[in-house]
Structure 1
Amino acid sequence: MDTAITTLHARQILDSRGRPTVEVDAWLDCGAFGRASVPSGASTGSAEAHELRDGDASRYDGLGVLKAVANVNGELAAALRGADALEQRGLDERLAAIDGTPQLARLGANAVLAVSLAVCRAAAAARGQQLYQRVAQLCGATPVLPLPMTNILSGGLHAGRGMDVQDFLAMPLRAATFGEALHLLSRVRNAASQVAQQRGLTTLLADEGGLSPGLESGAAALAMMTEAIERAGLRPGEDIGIAIDVAASTLCETTGGYRFAREGVHRSSEQVTNLLASWVRDFPVVSIEDGLDEEDWSGWSVLTQALGGKVQLVGDDLFATNPQRLARGVGAGAANGVLVKANQNGTVSGTLHVIAQARAAGYATIVSARSGETEDAFMSDLAVGSAAGQIKIGSLRTSSTVAKYNQLLRIEEHSGAAYAGTAALRGWRGHA
């Protein structure tokens, strides 16, 4: 069998934050080769697949992944030797069964996912396919170039809590192609740097390459976003919309409610919903991610009733790319979009299943990067091949994020695939 796995080899490499992560090489009997590395998050949901770290304080402050590497080179390599790389779903189910825990806690989701990704890439090589074509084949989709959202201003855990809200992003609303969309986003990102310099604010980069101006409130950040869009010669709400990642689970207090420390304000779930509604009213906001805590299910239902017909409401920590949590959210009427992160789920097949599940429920799907990335651009091919419709990568800075944008430009050139545009957005009044 020419697509049989002959060798799996893992190593410890560094991600964009200088922290260890897992990289796997996969070789097939025909000589085909695939390599993949996995990202790591800062703002992580409790339901995510488990990232195995060594806990040895003498090496990388306990963040080493040599245990996960050893699990690939030992147990997983032996178990999968001879398995057919073309049988992605069966292979992924086998990986989960070998681990034997709900969140891949024994072997580590970072070990399991790196194997799943590397084998998928090797299978594409064995059949002379582009990776996005292999993904499309796995899920029966017609490839589509995604609508991007790009990080412009950062706070929360991505920027040392310089601002309470984690990210403010730009989304192109008037672009006919992905290449044109990217150019518009570049104009906004450059203009934001100019605005920061004019105001005497820092232009140092946060984890995902956004600016970290340390503004006093979300409204101040939204005002700066609007100023940057206008400085770029573009129209807020027409050419460019604003997306917000609140990362509310990081603001939630054990005693209840949400602490906005930068503002020195405590807000209830209802008050946070009212705050978000005011931002939607006063600024060109088209998408809000993690507006409430991952366990504030009743609050999410209220938020969705209030704003779901006006903007896209995305669950990240809320759903954690987990089919059970997504099913609960659909049943509760919580959100209208799901952020898709392969390392939250743990396998290629499991991630594609969540995309299909969300699509069947009428939810938007946004393939997303993490704050700790590598130069591996698998997520770009995943977004196109699965026809997810949207992608959230980070800012137009640093090689780990730019690699994903560049891969999308290559795919656009190679594939001739249609560009999703704003038709992929849910809820937004422009496409309500």
Structure 2
Amino acid sequence: MTKSSIVSIDAIEILDSRGNPTVRVLMELDDGTEASASVPSGASTGEYEAHELRDGDKKRYGGKGVKKACENIVKQIAPTLLGMDASEQAKIDRILIELDGTDDKSRLGANAILGVSMAAAKAAAQSHHMPLYRYLGGAEAKRLPVPCMNILNGGEHADNSVDFQEFMAVPHGAPSFSEGLRYVAETFHTLKKLLHERGLATSVGDEGGFAPDLGSNEEAIELIVEAIEKSGYRPGEDISIAIDSAATSFSTDKKGHYDLKWSGAGKMQSIDLIALAKEWVDKYPIILWEDPLAEEDWEGFARFTSALGDKIEVVGDDIFVTNTKFISRGIREHTANASLIKLNQIGTVSETVAAVRLCEENGWRAFLSHRSGETADTFLADFAVAMQSGHLKSGSASRSERLAKYNRLLEIEHALGTDAKYYWK
């Protein structure tokens, strides 16, 4: 590869899919390459995530402005990186981490650091005339992820009576990514008809899934099973269900006590939620369960995995926050059998890659994910193919910032042609 030096780094404040400010980084190389990267933002966040720097000025965006993060990019990061080869991703990321000097990237802001890290990867890929997935993943990056589409929302992502945050349709039985996307998009539209017929709301939550008031959390599963069947598919064979409880959001102590307040199910302990999960996994075509317990309920998580880990994928999100330190502990203690992977939870491309590789090396799966506050940036789609993780959640079939990722994956599938691979495990 020829050297492509960074000659300019700039940053501006833009708006994410919730209308809140976020960072966009603009990078230019000496060969004329220009690239930009936009940083997502989460609503349901783990306590130990990398720190997203906000201005705190209540007169602007209710304190959520990111002018300080943009200023840090222009005044501190840019002078440090100018002249560096954009393709030296690991070196760039290491310098960013050292320049910040904190464990959680709170000085410069993880949003500032990640934006620059992503922009460098994009610029280097463009400079070397390679698609981003090939640049990051090499010649073997041919596997398209199974789209775990969020079609019904609750918890922190919706104002309704459902405690669990996401109910996803997973088209693991489809022959290709494009067919899998069709399976779940059709199921999404069928679900809308079912909700309308029953006089239930068809408004959507942050990630595009429907957010009706239901009689119970279980009713959400029943509705999805019915939608799968009425779409002409076989539950458990063509399409299964994935759940993200985001249990920290309804935990009273973030350890072993819970209050399913929105549905009215009441107070529970870890053992009660495990018993409920056993019942549902036996009864419904559930294939994956994310954050079934809270971020500090390590013992409960391990019991959940012991009880159900041989039947379903048990994914840790808030408990691991894409951090190799926490994932390593989870591997040692058999806390789960998979980790959610979010670029902005850890703050650089290199650290995110390291988290994926750690999972792979220890027989775990890595579940790539967007955030509830997204942008039209399609970095995540290419990254999912580069990492060959096998599955991805990127929201529903009703919001353009979510569909941008799915449409990019359709482009990649088309480009790969007969080389494209698609399978669950």
TM-score, normalised relative to structure 1: 0.96
Please give the secondary structure, in 2, of the residue aligned with 1:422: coil
User: How many residues end up aligned between the 2 structures?
Assistant: 421
Cα shift readout 1:76-99 (whole Å, capped 9, x = no counterpart): 011111111111001101100000
| Matching of residues 51-90 of structure 1 within 5 Å | 51-90=52-91
- Which residue in 2 is equivalent to 1:180? 179
Q: Deviations over 1:265-292 (max 9, x none)?
A: 1010111111111111111111000000
8 Å CA contact 1:149, 1:170 repeated in 2: yes
Residue 429 of structure 1 aligns with which residue? none
Are 2:259 and 1:259 aligned? yes
What is the rounded CA distance, in whole Å, between the counterparts of 2:225 and 2:193 in structure 1?
13
SS at match of 2:424: helix
Q: Assess if the C-alpha contact under 8 Å between 2:39 and 2:111 holds in 1.
A: yes
Residue 397 of structure 1, CA deviation: 1.1
Instruction: Compute the displacement of 1:420 (Å).
Output: 3.2
Alpha-carbon RMSD: 1.2
Mapped to 2, the partners of 1:10 and 1:51 lie a distance apart of 15
Identity %, equivalent residues: 44
Q: Is the 8 A contact 1:155 1:167 kept in 2?
A: yes
Which residue type is aligned with residue 420 of structure 1?
Answer: Y
Q: Quote how far apart the aligned CAs of 1:143 are.
A: 3.0
Find the residue that maps to 1:220 and give its secondary structure: helix
What is the aligned partner in structure 1 of residue 194 from structure 2? Answer: 195
CA shift, 1:2, in A, is 4.4
In the aligned structure 2, how far is the partner of 1:304 from the partner of 1:398? 33
Query: Aligned ranges for residues 237-316 of structure 1 at < 5 Å?
Result: 237-254=236-253, 256-261=256-261, 262-316=263-317
For residue 328 of structure 1, give the secondary structure of its aligned residue in structure 2: helix
- Larger mean CA deviation between 78-87 and 409-418 belongs to 409-418
2:422 to 415, 420, 423: 420
Q: For 2:344 and 2:160, how far apart are their aligned partners in 1?
A: 24
Greater shift, 140-149 or 202-211, is seen at 140-149
Measure the CA separation in 1 of the matches of 2:75 and 2:116.
Answer: 12
Q: Deviations over 1:219-262 (max 9, x none)?
A: 11111111111111111111110000000011110295100002
Corresponding letter in the other structure for 1:418:
A
State the distance in 2 between where 1:67 and 1:78 align: 16
- Post-superposition Cα deviations, 1:114-139, rounded to whole Å, max 9, x if no partner, equal 000011000001100001111113xx
Unaligned runs of 5+ in 1: 424-432
Contact in 2 for aligned 1:131/1:381 (Cα 8 Å): yes
Superposition deviation, residue 375 in structure 1: 0.2
User: For 2:9 and 2:301, how far apart are their aligned partners in 1?
Assistant: 43
Q: Which runs of 5+ in 2 are unaligned?
A: none
- Which residue in 2 is equivalent to 1:163? 162
1:28 matched to which residue of 2?
29
Deviates more, 1:352-361 or 1:160-169: 160-169
Paired residue type of 2:260: F
Give the Cα–Cα distance (whole angstroms) in 1 for the partners of residues 387 and 373 of structure 2: 23
SS at match of 2:394: strand
Please list every run of at least 4 consecutive aligned residues from structure 1 whose deviation after the TM superposition is greater than 4 angstroms.
none
Cα distance in 1 for partners of 2:114, 2:143 equals 24
Q: TM-score, normalising length from structure 2?
A: 0.97
Offset at residue 418 of structure 1 (A): 3.0
Q: AA paired with 2:413?
A: E
Is the CA contact 1:22–1:37 (under 8 Å) kept in the aligned structure 2? yes
Match of 1:389 in 2: 390
- Residue of structure 1 equivalent to 2:378: 377
Cα distance, 1:176 vs structure 2: 1.1
